[in-house]
């Protein structure tokens, strides 16, 4: 389930990143061609970048590729490492759950104001906060479940990473 969810999120990130690149190039071209007056590219590219960055968090969690210093963690015995990893996952889960719950009220308040150039409710760009929080919680829950059900799985990279 984690792999399927991650595959969907990665594909969505690729589409959003492609839109981001096209938007930035359109803005660059419009800046140097006098007769093209396009003003939305900077704002749209900013929101696309935020969406891609926050959605990619769940992919990092699914692949266990999040940033961290592991030299102390890897020097611990496997049982300690397993429980410490689960404790870190639970702390992360609490943070992302808070982000999801708080993000919903953030989105609700976003319907009361609009963006400067695109003139859309700020709730649409803000919606990534609870979405990213939910996806991260889902991936963490799936990884914790794998840590308990699959022997030797705790804090291990996925098989696709080992082959690279």
pLDDT digits (tens, 9 = 90+) for 85-109: 888 889 999 999 999 999 999 999 9
Q: Do the beta carbons of residue 82 and residue 146 sit within 8 Å?
A: no
pLDDT digits (tens, 9 = 90+) for 33-92: 877 778 899 999 999 999 999 999 999 999 888 777 778 888 899 888 888 888 888 999
Q: How many CB atoms lie within 10 A of CB 133?
A: 23
**Percent of the chain predicted with pLDDT > 90:** 58
Q: Read off the pTM.
A: 0.81
- Rounded CA separation 58/140 (Å): 8
- Rounded CA separation 135/142 (Å): 11
Please give the average per-residue pLDDT across 15-39, as a whole number.
88
């Amino acid at each position: 389930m984690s792999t399927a969810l991650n595959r969907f999120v990665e594909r969505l990130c690729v589409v959003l990143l492609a839109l981001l690149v096209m938007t930035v190039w359109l803005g660059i071209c419009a800046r140097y061609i006098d007769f093209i007056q396009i003003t939305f590219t900077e704002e749209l590219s900013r929101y696309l970048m935020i969406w891609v960055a926050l959605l990619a968090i769940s992919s990092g969690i699914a692949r266990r590729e999040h940033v961290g210093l592991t030299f102390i963690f890897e020097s611990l015995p496997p049982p300690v490492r397993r429980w410490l990893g689960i404790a870190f996952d639970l702390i992360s889960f609490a943070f992302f759950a808070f982000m999801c719950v708080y993000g919903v009220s953030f989105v609700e308040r976003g319907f009361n104001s609009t963006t400067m150039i695109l003139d859309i409710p700020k709730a649409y760009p803000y919606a990534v906060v609870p979405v990213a929080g939910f996806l991260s919680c889902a991936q963490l829950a799936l990884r914790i479940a794998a840590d308990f059900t699959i022997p030797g799985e705790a804090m291990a990279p996925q098989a696709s990473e080992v082959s690279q």
